[in-house]
Amino acid sequence: MTAKVLLVDDSGLARRSVRQMLEPAGYVVAEAGDGMMALERYFLDKPDLVLLDLVMRGMTGLDVLAKLKLLDPQACVIVLSADIQDSSRTMTLEAGASGFLTKPVDRETLLKAVDDALGAKA
């Protein structure tokens, strides 16, 4: 059963480049351009993993993370952000994210993180 990943990022470019890394590795990819859409898509597509950006218009990534965890405590979320600060990493992990990656991310790092998160979930 192939795993489904939901990409949440307001930048089309960011979503495109991550899709280009995940699909050849056999993942099914869904996209959402903002927080509200992300929540909708989560309950419609029921992805196994969410890749979430932090800075977005409207709901922030942290808002989305909190909402997701509230509605589905099992939700598996990896944050993928341009924010390189250590404090941000700590904050997101404490808020319940399963992982934290900084942009731009290379293929190997991304795939490893996704594998690990899905492995832990199973």
- Residues at the interface with other proteins (CB under 8 A): 10-14, 55-57, 81-88, 103-104, 106
CB of 120 to other proteins, least distance (A): 26
Total length of the chain? 122
What is the C-alpha to C-alpha distance for residues 107 and 122, in angstroms, rounded to an integer?
Answer: 23
Considering beta carbons, is residue 20 or 71 the nearer one to other proteins? Answer: 20
Considering beta carbons, is residue 76 or 80 the nearer one to other proteins? Answer: 80
Cβ atoms within 10 Å of 112's Cβ, excluding its own:
12
Structure tokens at 121: 């979930």
**Beta strand residue intervals within the chain, DSSP E:** 4-8, 28-32, 49-52, 77-81, 99-102
Considering beta carbons, is residue 28 or 88 the nearer one to other proteins? Answer: 88
CB of 71 to other proteins, least distance (A): 24
Is residue 79 within 8 A of residue 63, CB to CB? The reply is no
CB of 20 to other proteins, least distance (A): 12
CB of 103 to other proteins, least distance (A): 6
